[in-house]
Amino acid sequence: MTVKDFFVVVVKVLALYFFFSGIIPLVTQLILYREIYDASQIIELAGIILLFIAIIYFMLSQATTIVKLLKLDKGFSTDRFDFSGMNSRYVLEATICILGFYMVFFVVPYILIDAYTLIKSNINSRVFSLDETAETLQANLITNFLYILVGLVIIFLRKPISKAFTSTNSKTTT
């Protein structure tokens, strides 16, 4: 695998991570907080969503251009990375699996903290949390459980996802 191909894969995986990291809170916010008072808020929300989608699309479709523009493939002592004859799809599949595990295990401490605080505030008459209402804690729990769900989906669907990203270079060995 060339250095350039490696960084193209890295940019695409980052785009995938940014997509899931941005879409989960957005979906949660749209489900839990449906209070939109005027047209300017709708226009702002639509603009933010369109900008987010444009950035992700640019990262996925123009990954080679991003690598050239940022000169990520320059300054290495070798032109190729030797992954012991592994297929580029296998490397991407392993990376996507690591991304899924990261999304699952990253939120576990937050779930434990929010669940403990929610339970403690329900038992004790005084609210134990730091300026957080029960609704906020429940919204945080829902968001964190969505992260776990998406992380598990990424882990289980890593082969189709990696196939979608390496459709043109699937037979290229490194």
Question: What is the mean pLDDT, run by run of 10 residues, along the chain of 174 residues?
Answer: 82 87 79 70 82 92 90 78 69 84 89 82 59 76 90 90 68 45
Amino acid identity at 158: R
pLDDT score, position 20: 83
Q: For residue 80, list its beta bridge partners.
A: 2
Cite the DSSP H helix spans in the chain.
Answer: 3-32, 39-61, 63-70, 88-106, 108-123, 134-156, 158-165
∠ Cα 23 55 9 (to 5°): 90
Domain parsing of the chain, residue ranges: 3-165
pLDDT score, position 170: 43
Amino acid identity at 88: S
CA distance 52 to 60: 12
pLDDT score, position 65: 92
Q: For residue 2, list its beta bridge partners.
A: 80
Of the candidates 51, 15, 50, 45, the one whose C-alpha atom is nearest the C-alpha of residue 30 is 45
Which residues make Cβ contacts (< 8 Å) with residue 7, sequence separation at least 6?
67, 72, 73
Q: For residue 87, list its beta bridge partners.
A: 173
CA distance 65 to 35: 40
pLDDT score, position 169: 46
pLDDT score, position 16: 85
Which of the 8 DSSP states describes residue 107? S
